[in-house]
């Protein structure tokens, strides 16, 4: 799914601007990526042992077979950037794929390489707003399909997403705006807002930080919520 998101600048962009604000910027700390650049079959030893079980080497042809959730097994010519994630539905417990856009992301400075390890270059910033019982201001004026964003008589907010329905009561969650979906496997969601709810106390909620619009971390979202 691709998104078009133009974040607006806050005129109060210092670390103190967030206190008491209805709209804020949030993001996750730059993460270390499960990604390796495999030049030759000899580089397979750089994978964690449990991930390596999901790879079969063809020494004669200089190619590899990787466990793939979509394909079962995928034949990969080297060199290639290989990414992975834990996936119980795969026979060896991991889903692997070729990250074909890695060179472009490296060139654009979106990811960086340090001693063979890759990480995100900076915080990806999103608009967010604490749900207080009324329609979130950050969603006003954005396209939706009928029933995508609703608030019932008990003031419970519900947002329909491609993977289900997110909901929360007033003061128990934060609306996150990721952008506008420009393409999707589900046509229903194409061209409408892409948003979700971070529920207070969940692992997803605890992973986010309040930031400036430039991605400078101010404090954890948990700390912000406890003070506001």
Instruction: Tell whether 56 and 113 lie within a shared domain.
Output: yes
Single out the residue in 63, 88, 120 at which a domain terminates.
120
Decide: 167 and 160 in contact? Cβ < 8 Å. no
Task: Give strand pairing partners of 181.
Answer: 3
Q: How many CA atoms are closer than 13 Å to the CA of 14, on its beta-carbon side?
A: 1
Domain range for 101: 32-120
Per-residue confidence at 8, pLDDT binned at 50, 70, 90?
very low
Task: Compute the mean pLDDT over every residue in the chain, rounded to the nearest whole number.
Answer: 87
Q: Are residues 184 and 99 in the same domain?
A: no
User: Residue with structure tokens 């399909």?
Assistant: 145
Considering 12-16, 43-47, 203-207, the range whose residues carry the highest mean pLDDT is 43-47
Confidence tier at 123 by pLDDT (50, 70, 90): confident
User: Do 46 and 116 reside in the same domain of the chain?
Assistant: yes
- The answer on 220 and 156 residing in a single domain is yes
CA dihedral 158, 161, 166, 167 (to 10 degrees): 0
Peptide bond into 79 cis (omega under 30): yes
Give the chain's domain count. Answer: 2
Phi and psi torsions of 113, nearest 5°: -115, 130
| pTM reported for the whole predicted model | 0.59
* pLDDT (tens digit per residue) in 153-167: 999 999 998 888 999
Which of residues 91, 120, 149 is at a domain's end? 120
Spatial CA neighbour of 120 closest among 102, 141, 144? 102
Is residue 34 predicted with pLDDT exceeding 60?
yes
Q: What percent of the chain has pLDDT over 70?
A: 89
> Residue 7: is its pLDDT beyond 60?
no
Q: Rounded distance, CA 172 to CA 137, Å?
A: 17
Q: Are residues 106 and 167 in the same domain?
A: no
Residues 149 and 216 in one domain: yes
Same-domain status, 92 and 129:
no
């Amino acid at each position: 799914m691709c998104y078009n998101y133009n974040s607006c600048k806050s005129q109060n962009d210092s670390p103190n601007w967030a206190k008491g604000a209805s709209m804020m910027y949030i993001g996750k700390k730059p993460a270390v990526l499960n990604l390796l650049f495999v030049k030759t079959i000899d580089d397979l030893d750089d994978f964690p042992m449990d991930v390596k079980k999901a790879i079969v080497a063809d020494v004669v042809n200089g190619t590899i077979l990787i466990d793939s959730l979509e394909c079962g097994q995928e034949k990969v010519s080297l060199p290639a950037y290989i990414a992975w994630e834990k996936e119980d539905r795969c026979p060896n417990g991991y889903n692997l794929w070729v990250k074909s856009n890695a060179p472009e992301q490296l060139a654009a400075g979106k990811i960086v390489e340090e001693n063979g390890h890759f990480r995100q270059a900076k915080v990806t910033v999103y608009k967010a707003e604490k749900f207080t019982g009324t329609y979130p201001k950050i969603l006003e004026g954005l396209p939706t399909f009928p029933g995508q964003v609703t608030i019932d008589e008990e003031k419970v907010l519900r947002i329909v997403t491609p993977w289900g329905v997110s909901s929360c009561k007033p003061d128990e969650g934060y609306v996150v705006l990721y952008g506008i979906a420009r393409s999707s496997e589900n046509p229903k969601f194409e061209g409408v807002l892409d948003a979700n709810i971070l529920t207070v106390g969940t692992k997803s909620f605890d992973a986010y930080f309040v930031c400036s619009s430039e991605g400078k971390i101010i404090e954890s979202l948990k700390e912000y919520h406890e003070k506001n």
